[in-house]
Amino acid sequence: MGAVTADEMRALEEAAFQKGATAASLMTKAGRRLGLAIARMFPRPGTAVAYLGKGHNAGDALVALGVLRAAGWQVVARASRPLEECADLTRAMFEALGGVTVLEASPDVVEMPRPLVLLDGLLGIGANGGPRGTLAALSREMNGLRRTAGARVVAVDLPSGVDADTGVVHPDAVIADVTLTIGVPKRGLLQAAAVHAVGALGLVPVEELRVPEVGDLALISPWTLAAGREPRPFDFHKGRAGRVALLAGSVPYSGAAVLAATGALRGGAGLVTLHVPVEAHALIAAKCPPEVMVRPVSDPRDLLGSRFDSLVVGPGLGEADGDTLRELLEGCSVPAVIDADALNALAKCGGVAGLPSHHVLTPHPGEFARLAPDLTGQPREAAARLFADRSSPVLLLKGARTLVTAKGKPLWCNSTGTPGMATGGQGDVLSGVIGALLAGGMESLDAAALGAWLCGRASERAIAAGASEESLSAGDAAAHLGGAFRDWREGTR
């Protein structure tokens, strides 16, 4: 499912109306699913405050309030104008909800049950520019409660003040922790310029608004990517799950190898073999999970004589010989994930030219700059597309909105994640997870996209389970990969 402009979204709605849908039926479905999504994100009932403009985003928020109230939440509203001045359908949804207090002033949050969730229903895709007047004051109020009172902001469809087409963040825009976009992703939400205001992205499915074509820009979510949804058959065995080989680790960076191997284990691999330098073998073997086989290797090219279904190269290798790694990777007939120190080594000896298309590159911005210094200064989206056009492997460009693409393919933008992932080792776990998906037979681009989603979702789950953005570790995320897999299959994120 591709991302759309505001005009394209309005055309989709009009097409749905022509097929018999009504604005009320679409709002009821979207609002109910919005409420259910919020309840899943915050399993313990707390307080929900809906900030209402006059349009249909406010109606969606009101329907969601009803769902949350039925689930045990305390719900109130904060309106930008008298309800009689709102759109007819929004006013009808307020009346149908019944019994909801409309606050005349900023909520007194001290005694409110937590979590405190603020629903941004101020502006929708039809807005021209940012919030003004009372809307701007309410936006500032929400942002203030987020900064000082531990509130979490959920934007309905898009954060008020973020342009649906360009991603421009206007003054006084709402800063959301998560944006639950309705029906189809809006192009502006996927732009790097909007990441800090959009936060994590969720898609609220509305069947009547489905888009058949992916287009050039797409969101990675269970509703837009089919890979990995089918459960394993009951007679599945470890041979079918695949064999992952890793070339990783060194004496100074033993933890990276352990985390990558753990990612492969948690990512579903049947057998995981970690190949490490001879001098680091005892150190790393002592730290590894017992399910991982750890073998010393003196020359990376020796792996070409081994049997495996995917290869992960780079985490924690330290200084490595790029020419030797190139021989290994060019001679490798199975998909390889190339990360970290392997990318740096290749950058010093000609880059990634000549590597097969089934390989996956997973640079962070610094490693990407070393691979493609001529693209420094380009917008992330443009740089990723230009790099993919001149290279064969799949590119996964890490960041707050991880991008995945390949030559001739759409630019896929990840929807999951948290600022808590800004800590060492997250990329190592990701490499292992992608390696496991590849070993199980998944196509390279799908494996990269799903791996990014799973690791982001696992980190979200770890925080929901008690970690904080400050305390989250890569090991915490790896421990929650099982729940992330369930969420993907069930479409519950």
- Is 366 annotated to bind a ligand? Reply is no
- Is 402 annotated to bind a ligand? Reply is yes
- Is 427 annotated to bind a ligand? Reply is yes
- Is 120 annotated to bind a ligand? Reply is yes
Task: Determine how many CB atoms are found less than 10 A away from the CB of residue 65.
Answer: 28
Q: How far apart are CA 123 and CA 106, in angstroms?
A: 19
- Is 383 annotated to bind a ligand? Reply is no
- The number of angstroms, rounded, from the C-alpha of 101 to the middle of its chain's C-alpha atoms is 35
Structure tokens at 155: 């934007």
Q: How far apart are CA 413 and CA 238, in angstroms?
A: 31
- Is 344 annotated to bind a ligand? Reply is no
- Is 456 annotated to bind a ligand? Reply is no
DSSP symbols for 108-147: --TTS-SSEEEEEES--TT--SS--THHHHHHHHHHHHHH
Half-sphere exposure of 310 (CA within 13 A, CB side): 37
- Is 316 annotated to bind a ligand? Reply is yes
Which residue in 246, 249, 266 sits closest to 308, CA to CA? 246
- Is 157 annotated to bind a ligand? Reply is yes
- Is 398 annotated to bind a ligand? Reply is yes
- Is 167 annotated to bind a ligand? Reply is no
- Is 143 annotated to bind a ligand? Reply is no
- Is 399 annotated to bind a ligand? Reply is yes
- Is 150 annotated to bind a ligand? Reply is no
Q: Which residues of 77-100 are buried (b: 16+ CB within 10 A; e: fewer)?
A: bbbbeebeebbebbbebbeebeee
- Is 354 annotated to bind a ligand? Reply is no
Which residue in 313, 319, 318, 321 sits closest to 362, CA to CA? 313
Helices (H), 46-186: 56-70, 88-97, 134-148
- Is 126 annotated to bind a ligand? Reply is yes
Annotated binding site for AMP: 398-402, 427
- Give the residue ranges of the annotated binding site: 57, 120, 124-130, 157, 160, 256, 316, 364, 398-402, 427-428
Annotated binding site for (6S)-NADPHX: 124-130, 157, 256, 316, 364, 428
**Binding site residues for K(+), as ranges?**
57, 120, 160
